[in-house]
């Protein structure tokens, strides 16, 4: 996997996040906060988790290991979470532009939210974040359906087809 492929996956991630946020913006407040158990109890909590996790990983890539999820991720409005996702995407784009193939293979040491230490190759954690967000967007798709909404297609192949 090279830096161009990683950057392409992050272009996809931003596109998919934007599509899911657009669908969530159409919900009523009740639908947004309704208890729909999954990994997280609501659409709001699941979107907050995606945004918070992307922020946490950006901090780790920049050498800081937060000890907690950002406070803004809990009980947030769609607009706030969309803004944080956009901010992370902008900073992440700059970070990715600074990397080369050698940097992708370097080790990244960090701590999880429990304080446990880990070391992984940077390329692996970069791939993990896209995969993580995709996983939870899939949950949001099901939750949107359960809330009575029509979720957008966020598949990588749809993104690819739109780029042809």
Per-residue model confidence as pLDDT tens digits over 14-30: 999 999 999 999 999 99
Please tell me the predicted confidence (pLDDT) of residue 65. 97
pLDDT (mean) for 154-163: 96
Q: Is the CB of residue 25 less than 8 Å from the CB of residue 78?
A: yes
Range list of H helices, the chain? 3-25, 29-33, 43-61, 78-97, 101-105, 122-146, 156-163
Tokens 């709001």 correspond to 44
Q: Is the CB of residue 61 less than 8 Å from the CB of residue 93?
A: no
- Comparing CA positions, the residue from 101, 113, 139, 118 lying closest to residue 5 is 101
Task: Quick: pLDDT tens for 46-94.
Answer: 999 999 999 999 999 999 999 999 999 999 999 999 999 999 999 999 9
Buried b (16+ CB within 10 A) or exposed e, 97-110: eebeeeebeeebeb
Please tell me the predicted confidence (pLDDT) of residue 164. 83
- Residue 41, Cβ neighbours under 10 Å: how many? 14
β-partners of residue 79 are none
Task: Quick: pLDDT tens for 116-140.
Answer: 999 999 999 999 999 999 999 999 9
Task: Quick: pLDDT tens for 142-156.
Answer: 999 999 999 999 999
The fold of 3-28+36-163 is 1.20.120
Buried b (16+ CB within 10 A) or exposed e, 56-76: bbbebbeeeebeebbebbeeb
Task: Quick: pLDDT tens for 93-112.
Answer: 999 999 999 999 999 999 99
User: What is the value of pTM for the model shown?
Assistant: 0.97
């Amino acid at each position: 996997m090279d830096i161009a492929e990683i950057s392409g996956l992050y272009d996809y991630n931003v596109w998919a996040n934007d599509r899911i946020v657009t669908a969530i913006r159409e919900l009523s407040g009740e639908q947004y906060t309704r208890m729909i158990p999954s990994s997280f109890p609501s659409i709001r909590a699941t979107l907050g988790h995606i945004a918070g996790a992307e922020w946490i990983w950006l901090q780790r890539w920049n050498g800081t290991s937060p000890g907690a999820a950002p406070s803004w991720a809990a009980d947030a409005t769609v607009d706030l979470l969309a803004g944080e996702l956009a901010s992370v995407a902008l900073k992440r784009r700059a970070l990715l532009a600074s990397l080369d193939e050698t940097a992708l293979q370097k080790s990244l040491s960090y701590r999880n939210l429990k304080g446990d230490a880990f070391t992984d190759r940077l390329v692996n954690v970069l791939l993990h974040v896209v995969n993580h967000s995709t996983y939870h967007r899939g949950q949001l798709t099901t939750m949107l359906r359960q809330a009575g909404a029509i979720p957008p297609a966020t598949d990588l192949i749809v993104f690819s087809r739109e780029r042809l």
